[in-house]
Structure 1
């Protein structure tokens, strides 16, 4: 998926486990099929998972990132009433893999890409409960880091310009440019709240027609209160989407900003992953279709 991607195999993982965590040596190792774009995920036995960063980076910098992610995951797991992975250990470079890596608890379930919950009002209510719980966590003076989504919409103009250019032939670019012209002007009114940061179908687990758990929780941190509302557009049909909005009591501006963040994310994944990760690209198409349908 990336020019600087690092190759990780089950043999490398087995060697790293044997050398660094012999207590888990001999457990079955399974590379998981995943739409994830940042880590390779392996299951270790029945109760552990391991995340290996895919993009080559300085080992010390990677360690600092993984330590922050582990702390964020532990904090989110404490406040969520839905299952979420918890950090267990940090591994070191070795066996031909050049960076640190993170061991977490395994959370069972089916991701929303494979068990579509989009028509479930119960799932939408659960999702609202989860988002509200995160919003209720004290930021302890922390502010949005300035990286990625969650700050000022207009700061993404350059990225969006690239997305529009790369999306010629894939999407109705003139219409989408016009829509971004509206989104980028939406004012920010609320203070930062704690957010999951990436509530897309691949990071949400489904149990029946309910929310079964959440994944990729290492980004938990302060951001625009509207950011986690991307889930309304990535995950839900109109009826359940309205249930989510009503349960969270979103006003018009917050709701529109949530739609704007979903738009920004979807525009990026459609073209970037069109060949390397088709399910992610398809997710972007679906999200944009829902957004456009809501503006008609």
Structure 2
């Protein structure tokens, strides 16, 4: 998916575990299928999971999660990853890595939600809890800065998609939505705590209800519109309204959130269309959902 990806396989993970955490050396190791783009995930026995950066760009997430997850966990309404062990570079693997407690559940799938309105309420409760955190020293959230900082990359993606007519993207309509988002007033309140990557692959559900949120590598403080992603990348229109009402989102923040979600999808689709089916599929869904909303 990216240049500079480090090869990772079962044997490497076994050697890393045996060398640094011998108490787990006899546990089974199995690669987990994932739509993630910067980390490899390996199930370790029945109760653990190993997460290793695939690229240099994911290395900073390791320290970020080790620092902040223990502080955030008591303040959130659902479980989040718990770091149980901090791995070091070894065996030819160049970066730090972590062992987490296994969190059970399934990733929700847009168009196949069993309880969309209830899930919308659960997601709103999580986002509201994040926003209500007052811990000092929050780093800037990835993608959490001014919307205009995404403008050049978003416009490049739209032009790239014009050259991919097989994707069927109405690029003029996408550009109109993006321009509307840029015109929306920026929030006048202080930055808020954000997960900043609420993709379906970072959510776990059981019986249709939210049970865990994972992958906090983008966390930090920023524009509250950043955590509105599920409105378009997961929820159907009726549940989208439930989500918005539960959070009390004003028009300007909603328009910025829609633009941010569309921007991410527009950038992801041409980049991942041949390398990451899950990301490309969700990007297509987002583009349709946003443009159908108008």
* 1:285 alignment partner in structure 2: 284
Measured after TM superposition, the shift of residue 115 of structure 1 is 9.0
* 1:273 alignment partner in structure 2: 272
Measured after TM superposition, the shift of residue 165 of structure 1 is 2.5
Compared with structure 1, are the counterparts of its residues 77 and 90 closer, same or farther at alpha carbon in structure 2 (3 Å cutoff)? same
* 1:67 alignment partner in structure 2: 63
Q: Secondary structure at the match of 1:167?
A: helix
* 1:220 alignment partner in structure 2: 219
- Structure 1 residue 8 and structure 2 residue 4: aligned? no
* 2:128 alignment partner in structure 1: 132
- Structure 1 residue 49 and structure 2 residue 49: aligned? yes
* 1:193 alignment partner in structure 2: 192
Q: Which moved more, 1:242-251 or 1:64-73?
A: 64-73
In the alignment, is the contact (CA less than 8 A) between 1:120 and 1:240 conserved in 2?
yes
* 1:246 alignment partner in structure 2: 245
Name the CA distance, whole Å, in 2 between partners of 1:93 and 1:121: 44
* 2:177 alignment partner in structure 1: 179
In the alignment, is the contact (CA less than 8 A) between 2:110 and 2:234 conserved in 1?
no
Name the CA distance, whole Å, in 2 between partners of 1:21 and 1:196: 30
TM-score, scaled relative to structure 2: 0.93
Q: Secondary structure at the match of 1:41?
A: strand
* 2:119 alignment partner in structure 1: 123
* 1:207 alignment partner in structure 2: 206
- Structure 1 residue 157 and structure 2 residue 151: aligned? yes
Deviations 1:58-104 (A, max 9, x none): xxx93x54222222222232212212111112111122212111111
* 1:23 alignment partner in structure 2: 23
* 2:230 alignment partner in structure 1: 231
Unaligned runs of 5+ in 1: none
In the alignment, is the contact (CA less than 8 A) between 2:138 and 2:193 conserved in 1?
no
Name the CA distance, whole Å, in 2 between partners of 1:18 and 1:266: 40
In the alignment, is the contact (CA less than 8 A) between 2:84 and 2:100 conserved in 1?
yes
Compared with structure 1, are the counterparts of its residues 118 and 195 closer, same or farther at alpha carbon in structure 2 (3 Å cutoff)? farther
Measured after TM superposition, the shift of residue 30 of structure 1 is 1.0
Q: Secondary structure at the match of 2:212?
A: strand
Measured after TM superposition, the shift of residue 142 of structure 1 is 3.8
Deviations 1:202-253 (A, max 9, x none): 0011111211211102332211111111111111001111011111111111
In the alignment, is the contact (CA less than 8 A) between 2:17 and 2:25 conserved in 1?
yes
Name the CA distance, whole Å, in 2 between partners of 1:158 and 1:24: 47
Name the CA distance, whole Å, in 2 between partners of 1:109 and 1:183: 34
In the alignment, is the contact (CA less than 8 A) between 1:6 and 1:55 conserved in 2?
yes
Runs of 4 or more, structure 1, over 4 Å off, are none
Q: Which moved more, 1:251-260 or 1:237-246?
A: 251-260
Q: Secondary structure at the match of 2:183?
A: coil
Unaligned runs of 5+ in 2: none
Name the CA distance, whole Å, in 2 between partners of 1:34 and 1:143: 27
Name the CA distance, whole Å, in 1 between partners of 2:226 and 2:252: 12
Q: Secondary structure at the match of 1:128?
A: helix
TM-score, scaled relative to structure 1: 0.92
* 1:92 alignment partner in structure 2: 88
